Amino acid sequence: KAGVTQTPRYLIKTRGQQVTLSCSPISGHRSVSWYQQTPGQGLQFLFEYFSETQRNKGNFPGRFSGRQFSNSRSEMNVSTLELGDSALYLCASSSAQGPFDYGYTFGSGTRLTVV
């Protein structure tokens, strides 16, 4: 079974630009969550999508958005990049549909550097 695929692996952008990151979940997984990981803040929840609907949202500004397609692939977009957006962005898929689940499977992440 293929794992969670995130593209690109590395990205360097300039302040003010926008960026789109992509995530392909494990086949059959309908839940996709995004996390931002930084040394200072740890893993911060961005949002979760299930069947093309955003089910949960973290405390990030509106510059961070996402979407999920009918094939469960997800994208997240960050507009008007700031230096503080430099981080490892992790996508995680899960088959969870209720109170019991089998944990996230994380992708390798996209390391975004804003200069």
Partner 1 sequence: GQQVMQIPQYQHVQEGEDFTTYCNSSTTLSNIQWYKQRPGGHPVFLIQLVKSGEVKKQKRLTFQFGEAKKNSSLHITATQTTDVGTYFCAGRRSSGTYKYIFGTGTRLKVLA
Footprint of partner 1 on 41-60 (CB under 8 A): 42-45, 48, 50, 55-56, 58-59
CB of 39 to partner 1, least distance (A): 10
Q: Does 96 bind partner 1 (CB under 8 A)?
A: yes
Q: Is 99 in the site for partner 1 (CB under 8 A)?
A: yes
Q: Is 45 exposed, middle or buried (0-12, 13-18, 19+ CB in 10 A)?
A: middle
Asked whether the beta carbons of 25 and 96 are under 8 A apart, the reply is no
Residue 19 · residue 81 · CB < 8 Å: yes
Instruction: Please pick, from the candidates 34, 74, 94, 112, the single residue that binds partner 1 as defined by CB under 8 A.
Output: 94
Smallest distance, partner 1 to C-beta of residue 48, A: 5
